[in-house]
Amino acid sequence: MIRYILRRLLLLVPVLVGLSMLVFAIARLLPGDPVRLAAGPNASAADVASVAREFGLDQPLPLQYWHYVTGLLQGDWGVSIFSRRPVIEDLAAYLPATLELVLAAMLLAVAIGIPAGLMAAVYRDRWPDFLSRAVSLGAISMPRFFLGLLFQLGFAMWLGWLPLSGRFPLTEDPPATITGLLTLDALLTGQWHAFGIALQHLALPAIAMSLSPLATITRMMRASTIEVLQQDYVTTERALGLSARLILFKYVLKNAVSATLTVIGLYFGWLLGGTVLVETVFDWPGLGLYATQAVLTQDFMPIIGVTLCIGTLFVLVNLLVDLLYGLLNPRVRLR
C-alpha cells in the first residue's frame, strides 16, 4: 500500500509538469496583449516595455517557462500583472471558498444519491424507482447556472428564506480563521450563530452544484446494486435464510458502492473546475470567480496557478478514491 501511494505521488510530477507546459503555452499564444492592458490605455511604448521587463515577458518563451518552473520549486507561483499580488496568496485566499462549496455539494450528492440509488434498485420498476428516474433526469438536464437563478428568484427574492448571494455578510463578524472553511471554522470555535449564517449563504449554491452529481450517483448506484443483487453469493445468502436487511446493508451495499466511488472522484474534480458559473451567479469568492477575472484581463500567472491547483487536487482526490476502493473491495486491495 505504501509503495503504491509513493508511486502515485511520483506520477504526479510528470502530470503537473505536462499540465504546466500546456497551460503556459496556451496562455501565451492567446490573442491580445496583457502587458498593454496592464499598462493602461494611455501608456507609451516605453511604459509598455517597462511593464514587460518587470514581469519578464520580454524574454523568450522557453526562458519564461524555465523561470516559472524554478520559481514553483521555491514556492513562487508568480505575480499577477494587474493586482501586483503573489498568485500563491490569491490562491490561499480563494481556494477555501471553492473547497467549501464543492465539499458541501458532494456531501449532499453522496448522502442523498447513494441511498436513493439503493432504494431504486431494491424497488425496481416500482414507484421509488420511477421517482428516482424522473428526478435524476430533471436534475442532470438542467444547467447549474439556470438552477442558481431559479433558486435566487424563488428562495431569496420571493420567499426571503435564504440570502441572495455572497459568502458572509459584511455586517457580521466571521469566525476565527483555522481552515478557511467558514462552516467548519464556526463549528471548531463554537460560534453557532456564525455557523448558521455561513450555512444559509452556502445552501443555495451548494444545492445548485449538487444536483448533477446527485443524479449521476443515483443512476450509477442503482445499476451497480441491480448487478450485485444478481450475483450467486447473494442468492446463496438468501437460501441460507439471512434477512433481507442484513444482505442489503452488509454485503450488497459495500460491493455496489465500490463502482460508484470512481464517479464520485471524477465529479469532485469536475466540480472544482466547473464552479465558474455558479460562483459568478452567487458572487461566491472562489477560484472560479478568480479565474474568470484573470481570463477577462488575460492575466497569465493566475490562470496557470488555478489550473495547476485544480490539477493537483484532482490527482490527490483520485488517489484517495483508489485507496478507498481497495479498502472496500478486498479482491483488488493494494499492497
pLDDT single digits (tens) 291-317: 888 877 777 788 888 888 888 888 788
Number of Cβ atoms within 10 Å of the Cβ of 18: 11
81 neighbors 35 (Cβ within 8 angstroms): yes
At residue 32, the pLDDT reads 63
At residue 195, the pLDDT reads 92
Site of grid cell 438552477: 147
Query: Right CATH number for 99-332 from 1.10.10.10, 3.10.180.10, 2.40.30.20, 1.10.3720.10?
Result: 1.10.3720.10
Backbone dihedral angles phi then psi of residue 86, each to the nearest 5 degrees? -60, 135
- The CA distance from 319 to 244, in Å, is 34
DSSP state of 330: G
Q: Nearest CA to 305 among 37, 313, 283?
A: 313
- Contacts of residue 255, defined as CB under 8 A and 6 or more positions apart, other chains included, come to 224, 228, 231, 328, 329
Per-block average pLDDT, block size 10, for the chain (335 residues)?
Answer: 72 78 74 63 69 69 79 80 84 90 92 89 84 80 79 86 86 84 90 91 90 88 86 79 79 79 81 81 86 79 84 81 69 54
CA distances from 286 to 22, 68, 292 (A): 24, 24, 10
Chain-centre distance for alpha carbon 33: 31
Q: Show the cell assigned to 281.
A: 451567479
- The CA distance from 29 to 245, in Å, is 59
At residue 329, the pLDDT reads 63
Q: Show the cell assigned to 88.
A: 500563491
At residue 318, the pLDDT reads 78
- The CA distance from 225 to 252, in Å, is 7
- The CA distance from 318 to 323, in Å, is 9
Give pLDDT tens digits for 260-285. Answer: 887 888 888 788 877 888 888 888 88
- The CA distance from 20 to 1, in Å, is 29
Using CB atoms within 10 A of its CB, is residue 201 exposed (0-12), middle (13-18) or buried (19+)? Answer: buried
At residue 104, the pLDDT reads 93
What residues does 86 pair with on adjacent strands?
79
b/e string for 228-260 if b means 16 or more Cβ within 10 A?
bbeeeebeebeeeeeeeeebbeebbbebbbbbb
Instruction: Return the domain boundaries, the chain.
Output: 99-332
At residue 107, the pLDDT reads 92
- The CA distance from 97 to 180, in Å, is 7
- The CA distance from 294 to 296, in Å, is 6
